[in-house]
């Protein structure tokens, strides 16, 4: 007796069931793998690693961005004041250009006023060297924009003599897109103002 052939439609249905089952399992497997990869990625983003003295790997929790903002703000202010006030005949144009990237039109207004007052002409005429020696900043981070007050100590070398000054400035800081190397901290100084300039007594 001959074995009857399996009905062609039954074979097709079985093949379709097998194909769909394989595709479904592959899809589920892919989704599970994607989820696991994302979890691993999040773990790496939230942790840093250091090598212990014995060669082991130690996980370190990253400090949150909120904890880092004070460091970034003060670094931004330090960079700005060193560019804006640390000047000599060879670098002043480059330094002013860099400083203007770190602030808005209020910084540009101060620059234009100083230029109109002949500050930069005297710098060139007498080959002055204006060197920043120290910067101290206080910032308030409770709300945006962040307010600040900075004290900058600088000295002007006139060749035969050196004059020392203390300058107090204030303003606010806004978050903007980071732009390397022009604005790596992603902060913009606004409402910038030079509050007080005090000549320091000569030290003997």
Domain spans in the chain, listed from the N-terminal domain onward: 63-199
Asked whether the predicted pLDDT for residue 47 surpasses 80, the reply is no
pLDDT of residue 129: 96
Helix/strand/coil (H, E, C) string of the chain? CCCCCCCHHHHHHHHHHHHHHHHHHHHHHHHHHHHHHHHHHHHHHHEEEEECCCCCEEEEECCCHHHHHHHHHHHHHHHHHHHHHCEECCCHHHHHHHHHHCECHHHHHHHHHHHHCCHHHHHHHCCCEEEEEEEEEEEECCCCCEEEEEEEEEEEECCCCEEEEEEEEEEEEEECCCECCCECCCEEEEEEEEEEEEECCCCC
- When pLDDT is cut at 50, 70 and 90, the band that residue 63 belongs to is very low
Q: What's the pLDDT tens digit per position in 72-102? A: 999 999 999 999 999 999 999 999 999 999 9
pLDDT > 90 fraction of the chain, expressed in percent and rounded? 58
Higher-pLDDT residue of 142, 80: 80
pTM reported for the whole predicted model: 0.68
Higher-pLDDT residue of 31, 137: 137
Classify 63-199 by CATH class.
alpha beta
């Amino acid at each position: 007796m001959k074995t009857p052939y399996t009905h062609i439609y039954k074979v097709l249905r079985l093949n379709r069931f097998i194909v769909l089952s394989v595709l479904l399992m592959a899809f589920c497997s892919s989704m599970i793998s994607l989820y696991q990869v994302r979890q691993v990625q999040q773990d790496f983003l939230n942790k840093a690693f250091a090598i212990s003295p014995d060669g082991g790997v130690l996980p370190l929790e990253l400090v949150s961005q909120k904890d880092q903002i004070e460091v970034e703000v003060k670094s931004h202010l330090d960079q700005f004041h060193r560019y804006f006030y640390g000047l000599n005949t060879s670098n002043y144009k480059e330094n002013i250009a860099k400083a203007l990237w770190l602030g808005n039109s209020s910084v540009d207004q101060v620059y234009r006023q100083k230029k109109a007052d002949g500050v930069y002409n005297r710098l060139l005429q007498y080959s002055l060297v204006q060197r920043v020696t120290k910067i101290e900043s206080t910032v308030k981070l409770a709300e945006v924009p962040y307010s600040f007050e900075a004290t900058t100590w600088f000295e002007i070398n006139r060749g035969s003599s050196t004059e020392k000054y203390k300058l107090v400035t204030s303003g606010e800081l806004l978050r903007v897109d980071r732009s390397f190397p022009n604005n790596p901290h992603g902060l913009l100084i606004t409402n910038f103002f030079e509050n007080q300039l005090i000549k320091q007594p000569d030290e003997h």
